[in-house]
């Protein structure tokens, strides 16, 4: 029995079997390379699913986390702490939201829960006690808590968990007319991903977010953007909504924010923030000092103008390589889509087998939806690694 197999056997006995796990145990990582328990190296172009944006064990982020660990880990949010404030300053000033403020939590689902609570109370404060409903989009993904899986418009995530919370309605993605028709007397907000990551890496059509902003202004709704997968410089802007030049009322972040340490955030306008005054929301671990200190360094490395210009260049190369693979295999590869360093390659007949063969060939990517292989490499991936990755992918087709 290999070391991988031994450890997996223990996992199968004692871990909740809620994940479809790939049959390797990862034990060490450095930038875009990870090693399994038997010493095999893999090129990691998934980065913990768009989470380790600066690669594994980035020395400057490790140093910041270690320094904070030696100083102070946790104090409770009944006290102020410097790393949280420094991170809030970065997230808010880069957002363009007027008077922006940040709330910290631990995950994407929690950040979206904060958005949902913010929207409901903001409408109540305006005197609209019946505007509790959020419109969300078919094939979206917003998390696994009861409220966020109800916002997630994919029946497979909801089956068996009924009764689901009230106040969510689902509309086709990218269809502004359908959104206009769906807005009713109870609608208070719209929650949208700029790119549907889990839904198969589907980019919102140009003008869609702008159209939603206009609709929200016309109807008195809040526009909430889920930037959990797309934020933090991944698409070449600090936040993907900035490609459309719009200002949401609030947005959520997680994944890349801590480069792998658990931290999430909700950022909102000063006006919207009034809906969550003292005592209305909170989290014990939210904005943990070690995660926040790491996130500050990660932000500076990922979201500077120079860094994002490099991300845009790497993205162009990655898409060029993928489209060349598509040109050589036009019947197998149905589509190449995405933006920045988030790319989906849709495979005729489904991508599960291809993703498994990629792993056997030493490349880590994953499934988004049933048919799409997702690439979400760290921004530190080199051009050679992108070339090697797409070549391993082609071999795995």
Ligand X SMILES: Cc1ncc(COP(=O)(O)O)c(C=O)c1O
Catalytic residues: 141, 226, 255
336 binds ligand X (CB under 6 A): no
Q: Does 113 bind ligand X (CB under 6 A)?
A: no
From the CB of 142, what's the least distance to ligand X, in Å?
5
Shortest CB 175 distance to ligand X, Å: 19
CA dist 26 and 37 (Å) reads 6
Say if residues 106 and 263 touch (Cβ distance below 8 Å). yes
β-partners of residue 339 are: 342
Nearer Cβ to ligand X (104/396): 104
Which window, 14-22, 92-100, 191-199, 356-364, contacts ligand X (CB under 6 A)? 191-199
Q: Which residue is nearest to ligand X (CB)?
A: 108
Query: Given the complex with ligand X, which of 21 and 93 has the nearer CB atom?
Result: 21
Q: Quick one: how far is CA 11 from the chain centroid?
A: 27
147 part of the interface to ligand X, by CB under 6 A = no
Is 197 among the residues that bind ligand X (CB under 6 A)?
A: yes
Please say which residue, 165 or 277, places its beta carbon nearer to ligand X: 165
Q: How far is the CB of 329 from ligand X (least distance, A)?
A: 28
Cα–Cα dist 196/146, whole Å:
20
What residues contact 80, with CB distance under 8 A and at least 6 apart?
none
Single out the residue of 80, 100, 99 nearest to residue 91, CA to CA: 100
Exposure class string for 240-277: b at 16+ Cβ within 10 A, else e: bbbbbebbbbbbbbbbbbbbbbebbbbbbbeebbebbe
Cβ closest to ligand X, residue 152 vs residue 311: 152
Q: Is 150 an interacting residue with respect to ligand X (CB under 6 A)?
A: no
- Does position 194 interact with ligand X (CB under 6 A)? The reply is no
DSSP 8-state symbol, 138: B
Contact 266, 115 (CB under 8 A): yes
> What does the per-residue mask of binding to ligand X show for 206-235, with x meaning CB under 6 A?
--------------------x-xx------
Determine, following the binding rule CB under 6 A, whether residue 254 of this chain makes contact with ligand X: yes
Assigned token pair, 54: 């600066």
CB atoms within 10 A of CB 175: 16
Q: Is 142 in the site for ligand X (CB under 6 A)?
A: yes
DSSP 256: G
Q: Smallest distance, Å, CB 8 to ligand X? A: 23
Q: Does 296 bind ligand X (CB under 6 A)?
A: no
Say whether residue 269 binds ligand X (CB under 6 A).
Answer: no
| Residue 141 is a binding residue for ligand X (CB under 6 A) | yes
By CB under 6 A, tell whether 136 contacts ligand X. no
Taking contact as CB under 6 A, which single stretch among the options 40-48, 75-83, 137-145, 273-281 is the one that binds ligand X?
137-145
Q: Does 36 bind ligand X (CB under 6 A)?
A: no
Whole-number Å distance between alpha carbons of 208 and 250: 17
CB of 152 to ligand X, least distance (A): 8
Asked if 143 is part of the footprint of ligand X (rule: CB under 6 A), the reply reads yes
From the list 44, 133, 198, 346, which residue makes contact with ligand X (rule: CB under 6 A)?
198
* CA neighbor of 145 nearest in space, from 172, 179, 121, 168: 168
Residue 101 near ligand X by CB under 6 A: no
Phi, psi dihedrals of residue 123, rounded to the nearest 5°: -70, -40
108: contact with ligand X by CB under 6 A: yes
Phi, psi angle pair for 223, to nearest 5°? -100, 120
Site membership for ligand X, residue 379 (CB under 6 A): no
For residues 148 and 141, what is the distance between their CA atoms, to the nearest angstrom? 8
Residue 43, CB half-sphere, CA atoms under 13 Å: how many? Answer: 21
Chain residues in the site for ligand X (CB under 6 A): 107-109, 112, 141-143, 193, 197-198, 226, 228-229, 254
């Amino acid at each position: 029995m290999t070391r991988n197999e031994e450890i997996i056997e223990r996992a199968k006995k004692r871990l909740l079997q809620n994940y479809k796990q790939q049959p390797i145990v990862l034990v060490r990582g450095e930038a875009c390379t990870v090693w399994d328990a038997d010493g095999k190296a893999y090129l990691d172009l998934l980065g913990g699913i768009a989470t380790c944006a600066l690669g594994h064990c980035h020395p400057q982020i490790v140093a910041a986390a270690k320094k904070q660990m030696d100083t102070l880990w946790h104090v409770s949010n009944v006290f102020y702490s410097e790393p949280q404030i420094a991170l809030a300053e970065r997230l808010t000033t880069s957002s363009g939201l007027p008077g922006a403020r940040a709330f910290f939590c631990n995950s994407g689902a929690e950040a979206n829960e904060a958005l949902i609570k913010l929207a409901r109370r903001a409408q109540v404060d305006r005197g609209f006690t019946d505007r509790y409903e959020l419109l969300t989009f078919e094939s979206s993904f917003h998390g696994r808590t009861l409220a966020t899986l109800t916002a997630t418009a994919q029946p497979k995530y909801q089956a068996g968990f009924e009764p689901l919370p009230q106040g969510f309605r689902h509309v086709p993605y990218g269809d502004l007319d359908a959104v206009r028709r769906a807005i009713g007397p109870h609608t208070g907000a719209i929650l949208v991903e700029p790119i549907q990551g889990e839904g198969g890496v589907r980019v919102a059509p140009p003008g869609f977010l702008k159209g939603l902003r206009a609709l929200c202004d016309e109807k008195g709704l809040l526009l909430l953007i889920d930037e959990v997968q797309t934020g933090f410089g991944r698409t070449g802007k600090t936040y993907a909504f900035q490609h459309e030049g719009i200002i949401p009322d609030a947005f959520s972040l997680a994944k890349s924010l801590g480069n792998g340490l658990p931290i999430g955030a909700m950022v909102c306008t000063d006006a919207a923030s009034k809906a969550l005054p003292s005592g209305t929301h909170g989290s014990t671990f939210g904005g943990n000092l070690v995660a926040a200190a790491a996130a500050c360094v990660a932000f500076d490395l990922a979201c500077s103008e120079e860094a994002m210009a490099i991300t845009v260049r790497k993205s162009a190369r990655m898409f060029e390589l993928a489209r060349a693979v598509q040109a050589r295999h036009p019947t197998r590869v149905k589509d190449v889509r995405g933006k920045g360093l988030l790319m989906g390659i849709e495979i005729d007949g489904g991508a599960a087998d291809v993703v498994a063969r990629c792993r056997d060939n030493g490349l880590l990517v994953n499934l988004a939806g049933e048919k799409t292989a997702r690439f979400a490499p760290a921004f530190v991936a080199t051009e050679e690694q992108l070339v090697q990755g797409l070549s391993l992918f082609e071999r795995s087709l």
